[in-house]
Amino acid sequence: MKAATIALTFLCLFPSPSLAAQVYGTLRESDRPVGPNVKVEVVCGGSTYSAVTDKYGSYKLFARETGKCTLRVYYQSQVPQTVIDSYSDPAHYDFDLIRQANGQYELRRK
């Protein structure tokens, strides 16, 4: 009984990422990865979850909420954003950063 109480306490104090919704994918510009350290945020309700890209433009984060969320990318002093869905199963989102005629970036799902 004591072991079960300790295990339950650890589960409550340190929730597993498997209880969260995984959001992952890649970011590209001009058919090339954006590179490392580009900040990616997912905002679900009042909570914000963030990650940075690796050298291949890949990102991965865990959001506790499911449903409609906003994905933001902090790239070259701009913050293009789009609406995504967060599920209890992993959700894969690859995006191209498209530079518009006015110089602003737009996120376009591949």
pLDDT of residue 110: 86
Q: Which residue has the tokens 């933001």?
A: 72
Higher-confidence residue: 69 or 5?
69
What is the pLDDT of the chain when averaged over all its residues?
Answer: 88
Domains within the chain, CATH numbers bracketed: 17-109 (2.60.40.10)
Band (pLDDT 50/70/90 cuts) for residue 2 is low
- Alpha-carbon separation of residue 22 from 41, 42, 52, 62, 103 (angstroms): 13, 11, 14, 4, 32
15 φ/ψ angles, rounded to the nearest 5 degrees = -65, 145
Helix locations, 1-110, DSSP H: 2-13
Q: What is the pLDDT of residues 19-58, one digit of tens each?
A: 578 999 999 999 999 999 999 999 999 999 999 999 999 9
Query: Do residues 26 and 40 touch, judged by C-beta distance below 8 A?
Result: no
50: which 2 tokens?
């963030």
Q: Is the pLDDT score of 93 beyond 90? A: yes
Query: Do residues 93 and 25 touch, judged by C-beta distance below 8 A?
Result: yes
